[in-house]
Structure 1
Amino acid sequence: MPDLILHHYAASPFSEKVRLILGWKQHAWRSVEVPRILPKPDVVALTGGYRKTPFLQIGADIYCDTALIGDVLEHIQPEPTLYPAHLRGVSRVFAQWADSTLFWAAMGYNLQPKGAAHLFAGQPPEAAKAFAADRQAMGSGALRLRPGDAASAYRSYLRRIASMVEEHDFLFGMEPCVADFATYHPLWYTREQVPPVADVLNATPAVLEWMDRMKAFGHGVAEPFDSAHAIALARETEPLPPGQNFLVDSAFQDDHGIPLGSRVTISGEAFGPEPTEGELIAATRTHYSLRREDPRAGVVHVHFPRIGYVLRKVEAA
């Protein structure tokens, strides 16, 4: 079992998604706390620019985005499975909806004035302003719902989720799949991070019962770890070659006319536009991998899912 290092912070909803998967699979892992907003020098030393939370480090390999992290954790420990054979397609499609459409409706509701006031209670006004400016920069291309519109959508989605978990313990049956973990984390944020607005959940008691079942998985066994030590570990470790790095495929799939070995950037499609630049060493059906070198972290391989990310060739000056 490789050493798993999760770079995250406690109130990050997508981090909760991964923490719960780690608990369900009963992984031991190392916990590196990262800042909520820029600057994030230790993050960028490892990722080269990607600053969304969380990311997973295994030695000198850096895995970005929870969709890809799920694939890595499944490859390392296939049972219990995130992707049951009979749900392999629908569970991924549903998870993508939950991580995007449901998430943004929930956050539009969660960060209404009453929720935001609770989040920053006791902090100076500058903290709320800095957080808002940071997220505005990250989400320049993302659709943002006004609180009223977000509330309407969120209530409808909660009723639909309730209709799924009224019949059985989890969304698609008696065992959870990746769709459950993707659906849980924005609702967790409502319940745990902004309780003054969590009464929206009371209309769907079946959802609350499902959330209790999910929460019971816990977070596995986490050991605090320092970001400086994580960077040193990357510097002292050789990244794994493509095809040996806990990702499910290695065959080259060229959809851009960009050959392997090219200098490229990868950036988020709509949220987190900061690019990571490096040498393209893998472009498969499911993911991209870049080789990059950092003065502090040394040579690292940074991995992204294809879906949700934009690949561009760096043109010579």
Structure 2
Amino acid sequence: MSDLILHHYGSSPFAEKTRLILGMKGLSWQSVTVPMMLPKPDVVALTGGYRRTPFLQIGADIYCDTALIADVLEQRQPSPSLYPAGVGGQARLLAQWADTDLFWTALPHAMQPEGIKAIFAGAPPEVFKAFVADRRAMSEGTPRVSGPDASAALTSYLTWLSDLLADGREWLMGSAPSIADLSVYHPLWFVARAGAMADILTPHEALKGWMSRVAAIGHGTRAGKLEGEEAIALARSATPAAATVAPGLGFEAGERVSVTPGDYARDAVRGELVGLDTRSVTLAREDERAGRVHVHFPRIGYMLKKEETRA
């Protein structure tokens, strides 16, 4: 049985990105389905309150954010690389744009009335209302793009992406798939599920062909399905991997700190600082149900702060 456990749900765009990473790497993994909305008691037990989906569990180590998950899986299975030689930096830059600007354009475009009808087809009205309230709380303080503004921007973005494929290449970075392909794909995958709002893709034949190639990568091998309680028990029975705090970065090992996303879902995770370098940060947490776990975040996109101590 694989020790890789993905906590996700089927319609999450970022979860689809991670499933494709697992597929590109040919990895076997176990699945835990998490709720789309609060409350998420099992998620809180493992992460300390991280609201986003997905996250990856390996024993008592919890990896948050798909950028970090990609690096963890790259170390686990270096070939084929998510960051091909010669274009790895470009691939990372395009992926970061896709996970931010493109995602926050595709989402409001898709979530216009016609898209909502398709995405929530068959769901009771109260489910949609609860979803909207949950996502409004997650995005509080984040500037919101209107549907028409998003559609206008997405029209341009799709033209730019199509231009990358105009020379006949199969993948955005050239002859091999990369993290850029998987990151650009997932917002467009969400748009493609949005009924009439997917019509914006129609003029872009090369881009649609590229989407078919990305989809064909698949999701690797689902080795089994776990309940949240089972994943928590596995964390409790495991020992987190060793971590170190690099000197000269303004923090010391053992300090009480918080980590907060810089853009949305700004729920802070608090714990003891046990790992830090310029690429990632690791907090140790003691949880009544999960025991001692290490929760890992990327350094980019997250704010690390020392917690105030009371005399």
Determine if the TM-score, normalized by the shorter chain, exceeds 0.5: yes
TM-score by length of 2: 0.96
Determine the C-alpha separation between the residues in 2 that align with 1:28 and 1:126. 36
TM superposition shift of 1:166: 2.6
Residue by residue, what CA displacement relative to the aligned partner does 1:44-66 show, whole Å, maximum 9, x if unpaired? 10000102000000000000000
The Cα of 1:225 is off from its aligned counterpart by 1.6
Amino acid at match of 2:246: F
The equivalences for 1:247-286 within 5 A come to 252=246, 254-255=248-249, 257-286=250-279
Residue deviations 1:193-231 (CA, integer Å, cap 9, x gap): 313311110111111000000000111111212111100
For structure 1, which segment, 117-126 or 89-98, has the greater mean C-alpha deviation from structure 2 after superposition?
Answer: 117-126
Shift of 1:119: 2.0
CA contact (8 A) 1:2 1:58 kept: no
- In 2, Cα distance between the equivalents of 1:195 and 1:220? 27
Identity of aligned pairs, percent?
51
Larger deviation, residues 216-225 vs 45-54: 216-225
Describe the superposition over 1:89-115 as per-residue Cα deviations: whole angstroms up to 9, x where unpaired. 211111110000000000010001111
State whether structure 2 residue 288 is matched by structure 1 residue 288. Answer: no
Partner Cα distance (1:109, 1:305) in 2: 28
Alignment of 1:234-249 (within 5 A): 234-242=235-243
Aligned to 2:172: 171
CA drift at 1:254: 4.2
Q: What CA distance in whole angstroms lies between the structure 2 residues aligned with 1:265 and 1:197? A: 39
The reply to whether residue 304 of structure 1 matches residue 297 of structure 2 is: yes
4+ runs deviating over 3 angstroms? none
1:151 maps to which residue? 151
Runs of 5+ unmatched residues, structure 1? 243-249
Q: Amino acid of the residue matched to residue 306 of structure 2?
A: K
Deviation at 1:131, TM superposition (A): 0.6
Q: Which residue of 2 aligns with 1:246?
A: none
| Cα distance between partner residues in 2 of 1:21 and 1:67 | 11
The question of 1:6 aligning with 2:6 is answered: yes
Q: Name the CA distance, whole Å, in 1 between partners of 2:159 and 2:30.
A: 37
Structure 2 SS opposite 1:303: strand
When the two chains are superposed, the root-mean-square deviation of aligned CA atoms in Å is 1.3
- Structure 2: gaps of 5 or more residues: none
Distance 2:299 2:200 in 1: 35
- With the length of structure 1 as denominator, give the TM-score of the two structures: 0.94
Give the equivalent residue in structure 1 for 2:97.
97
Counterparts of 1:137 and 1:85, CA distance in 2:
41
- Aligned equivalents of 1:297, 1:265: Cα separation in 2: 19
1:75 alignment partner in structure 2: 75
Residue number in structure 1 paired with 2:60:
60
Whole-angstrom CA distance in 2 between matches of 1:314 and 1:229: 32
Query: Aligned partners of 1:35, 1:300: CA distance in 2, in Å?
Result: 21
Q: Secondary structure at the match of 1:231?
A: helix
CA contact (8 A) 1:18 1:70 kept: yes
Number of residue pairs aligned between Structure 1 and Structure 2: 308
Quick one: which amino acid aligns to residue 311 of structure 1?
Answer: L
CA contact (8 A) 1:5 1:58 kept: yes
Contact 2:281 2:297 in 1 (8 A): yes
